[in-house]
Chains A and B, each alone.
Chain A
Amino acid sequence: MWHRLLDAVSSLKLTIVCLTAALVLVFAGTLAQVHFGTHVVQERYFQSLFIWWPAESRIRIPVFPGGHLLGAVLVLNLLAAHLRRFRLSLRNLGMHLIHGGLILMLAGGLFTDLLSVESQMQLVPGETKNYSEDGRLTELVIVDQRSSDADRVVSIPEARLRKAGSVELNGFPFRVVIQHYYENSELRMLSNAGPGAVPVADHGVGAQIAVKELPRVTAVDGRDVKSVVIQLLPVGTDQGTASLGTWLVSEGLGGPQTFSYAGGPWRLEMRAVRYYKPYSVTLQKFTHERYPGTEIPKNFASQITLDDPGHAVHRDALIYMNHPLRYAGETYYQSGFGQDDKSSIFQVVHNPSFIAPYVACAIISFGMLIQFCQHFVGFTRKTPSPRAK
């Protein structure tokens, strides 16, 4: 029994089945990008154990193995095959290297999926930031601005907002009740919203705004406008008796709102999740060159200053196309420009396993070269040439 299982796991048949499934998965995933966009497809097809149908529903069935499952089975299959079938010998060196490299590459891919964080930093010349912002994740931020020395900030991540219910805020005199969360929304002033529109909140600008729920954006460069309606209740009270009111907090509002309570101002804001850094980046100058007489971009370049007092680092650097800056485990890439060339946008990537594919590639390429040369020598030697006879 045990042997038969091991045979199956190490069999070449399983390899071929997995590879074929991967082929189908990649093909289907590529076509699906037309409708769902790259990010959604990536999550549903490639970074998952199964592809579910229907995709977003409580009752759903797995219809095809996802990228993570196929990758894991392939790695298992490879390991088992090498343990059982291949003998360690110089003749098989090419094969060992190729497969070893492949395992490393698949493992590296998994770690990248799990560990890497991509974010953006947008700066206008002269501006300094010590944080980058997530391209897709948002958070609800409540700031206690009563003290003149320092603000106290709590943030409620998107995933928590989605669950609704009540959130206790440690040390704050009130708690938050999430009334409705919008994955994507359109805000309209009540006066323009047409007949029958009702405000979603009774405090703040939300009292003049109607919200329409929209389907999620699928385009690669698109972004959802996330909104939430919250009620604030003083700690130790019940709904209905002492509510401070309801607020609409949304990315579509273009800025924070404030209110007064317990002797001072408070701020409410929906914003991209921030990743704070122990250093800061200042943009000195941004240039966007085009080829003369055309609109074809020739180069983007940002002159920046890096400030890290903790490590006594204060230096200038130039970031431009295909020439990123690597610092403190993060890499800054020139990704584009915003606001009519006035601001520079960096892609900020934290990927601890970035080296894995490099090493894996080197190993596999070397293995393939050995394998190919062995075959090639055989190929030219054995070949008959009819006319030479």
Chain B
Amino acid sequence: MKRFFPWIVLVLVLISLAASCRMPKGAPGSFDFPKFGKIPVLEEGRLKPLDTVARNALVILRGRQTVRLEEGRTLPAIQWLADVAFNVPGADQYPTFAINNPEVLGLFGWQQGERKYFSYAELEPFFGKIDTEGQQAAGIDSAQRSPYQTAIYNLRNGLIVYQRLKHSLWPEGTQEFASEVKAYEKLLPIGREAMKKGGQEPASGDLALFKKFTEGYQMLAEASSIQPVPPVDAAARRNGDWVSLGTSLSQALKNGTVHPLVKAYAEMGEAYRAGKADLFNKEVDAIAASMAVQEPVAAGRASFEFLFNHIAPFYQSMQLYVLVFLLVCGSWLGWSNSLGRSAVYVTLVALALHTFGLAARMYLQGRPPVTNLYSSAVFIGWGTVIIGLFLERIFRDGIGLACASVIGFITLIIAHHLAGSGDTLEMLRAVLDTNIWLATHVVSITIGYSAMFLAGMLAMFYVLRGVLTRSLTRDAAQSLARMTYGVLCFATLFSFVGTVLGGIWADQSWGRFWGWDPKENGALLIVLWCAIILHARWGGYIRQRGLMVLAIFGNVITSFSWFGVNMLGVGLHSYGFMDKAFPWLMVFVASQLGLIALAAVPPARWRSPLGN
């Protein structure tokens, strides 16, 4: 049994993975949401499947990727999007908006109670208030906003996101979009004629109808956040100028015909509203087929991104890291060999998923792995797991895996919370638009963070084990110290090289090798701290315990460099959405200081007999 146990664990893990990755197959006669979700559209400057649009919007509005209706039913994101974008009656009553701030609730005269989510229809009477208050908050620097101002600002933004989706695929108030588009196309010659005359004459009959249509489409063009129609002419194709349904309908006036895709969307929406699944699926198939021919690259990427969303590799590997940690802890209690081996196997599976996720993001974005704070968190976890596996290979005592799994788990949780601002594959601002520096500077710095956190984690193990248990023998302590030292050297190398590469990038793009920007200073702090630790050790000023204390403080410095400087709101590297993280950072710093205090307990009083 013991011999086969690791293999059994591995097979069970793989089976459960395969089960959760299986594509849901719609029952015959139901709406084919997966295929609808794969349709590529342009949003926020990036081509993505509708599924991603839906998930990102929901994450912004309510912090999760599904909507739980009051009657207990759960709507997947894509179905919610279809309901909202096709203006299905009742969609405005879904509890879509998360509001937690009591002052915001008070603004509407509501008490904070059991309900956390509210519907668009419920908020409608307060749009005026939300707009004035939100606009006022928008005028304040994000670092200076009070929690109330942040909440009202976010609510106003959320309402804008919602309204834009609502005006993306269906003109408001229209009942039969498809027949309307047909009528509009027939009227095009009349409209063109009127345009030539300057459009001054009083409109009546057909022309009045035509004008009514164009006004509605104008609204659709201005408000829409989704651009589903691929470019027609060569110039637009070069710029990747996809357009909204409304814009395409306005362009029809020039071309004389309505783009077939617009007709297909109109038919699809009408079928969806009428509950005709067969008709809906037929139009979805038609759109998918035409995309596959006209925009094969976009269609391919969109359907891959759909798969990526569905598998949710980071979520899966997060769960596996918990399992790894449990297995390692088990191996310390007994059955060490087989549980230890099981932990290695599960780590490998988790790492494979983690790697797949990183590689998929790189493929989708066409960029090196780290482009924003979210991806830095994902990458730090990934780097730590690799170094941890490496340590495990050398030392074979489970410590490397335990540390790696804890950091892997925590960084993925952090990443999950950083994703709340919407698309994590956002387009890069001009100044960041250089793959060479993203691939070298940013990656080195992030590997440096990984190693710093791993060293800190190893030191935490040392202290906790030494003070609280009897298990830290002299050999164990020595091997932990060696690991920590080795990882710190590694961290020094990468942090230094990364910092310097950053300087070179800055010199290349601003003519300033070093500008004392807070993020640069943060990187420098890590390098200085590493130098201090290494020199203090070489000089014999610190020994094992001292090394551990300094390594733990390295966690504080690294977290300041990674997160803290972004909260200062100064300089070129600061980004928003950090207000929620501040208390957590303080908790983390306090916990590290607590551990340092624990390490300061004289060794004679540790439960492990280190001194003797």
Contacts and interface: CB of A to CB of B under 8 A. Distances in A.
A associates with B? yes
Interface of A: 12-13, 15-16, 19-20, 22-23, 26-27, 29-31, 33-34, 37-38, 41-42, 46, 109, 112, 118, 220, 290-294, 296-300, 321-322, 324, 331, 333, 335, 347-349, 351, 354, 357-358, 361, 364-365, 368-369, 372, 375-376, 379-380, 383-388
Most chain A C-beta atoms within 10 Å of own C-beta, residue among B45, B240, B529:
B45
B521 A38 contact: no
B280 interface: no
A29 B521 contact: yes
Report, nearest first, the 7 A-B pairs whose CB atoms are least far apart.
Answer: A291-B45, A349-B511, A12-B539, A294-B45, A387-B396, A30-B521, A361-B500
A26 B524 contact: yes
B427 interface: yes
A66 to B, nearest CB: 13
Interface string B481-510: 010001001101100110010011001111
Interface string B40-75: 001111100000000000000000000000000000
B394 A385 contact: yes
Query: Is the contact region of chain B dominated by helix, strand, or loop, or is it mixed?
Result: helix
B536 interface: yes
A324 B42 contact: no
Interface residues of B, number: 68
B372 interface: no
A369 B514 CA distance: 23
A299 B512 CA distance: 20
Nearest to A33: B570
Interface in B379-427: 394-397, 426-427
B206 interface: no
B568 A38 contact: no
Contact of A26 (B395, B496, B528, B531): B528
A292 B45 contact: yes
Nearest to A101: B500
Contacts of B513: 109, 112, 354, 357
B317 interface: no
B508 A322 contact: yes
B200 interface: no
Given A15-B535, A357-B513, A296 B522 contact: no
Contact of B429 (A296, A379, A385): A296
A100 B493 CA distance: 16
A31 B565 CA distance: 9
Contacts of A296: 44-45, 426-427, 429
B226 to A, nearest CB: 9
Contacts of A291: 44-46, 427
B569 A20 contact: no
Given A19-B528, A324-B509, 17 more contacts: A12-B539, A12-B541, A20-B532, A23-B528, A29-B516, A30-B522, A33-B516, A33-B568, A291-B46, A291-B427, A293-B43, A294-B45, A321-B431, A322-B437, A372-B490, A386-B395, A387-B396
Most chain B C-beta atoms within 10 Å of own C-beta, residue among A23, A41, A118:
A23
B525 interface: yes
A349 B490 CA distance: 35
B485 to A, nearest CB: 8
A293 B41 CA distance: 12
